[in-house]
Amino acid sequence: MQPSVFGKATTFFQILSVITVLVANITAVPESIVWSIIYTATFFTVLSTLTYTYDGIQQVK
């Protein structure tokens, strides 16, 4: 199975979420920015899961 653009976006936003939370513990980062990045990571994680699941089911058929 080939990597999808959603999988790549998921990885990017998950890493960005971790970095943002770590930086927010050191300096002042608006909470709205932290949560928007976390929600974006969650969105792409769900989307990626759905597309990989669909692709996997199609391969089994």
Q: What confidence score (pLDDT) does residue 43 get?
A: 98
Could you tell me the two tokens for 56? 């996997």
Q: Please name the residue ranges forming H helices in 1-61.
A: 5-24, 31-60
Entry pTM: 0.88
Summarize pLDDT for 6-60 with one digit per residue, the tens.
999 999 999 999 999 999 999 999 999 999 999 999 999 999 999 999 999 999 9
Q: What is the CA radius of gyration of the chain?
A: 15
CA distance 3 to 5: 7
Establish how many alpha carbons lie within 13 A of residue 12's alpha carbon, considering only the half-sphere containing its beta carbon: 10
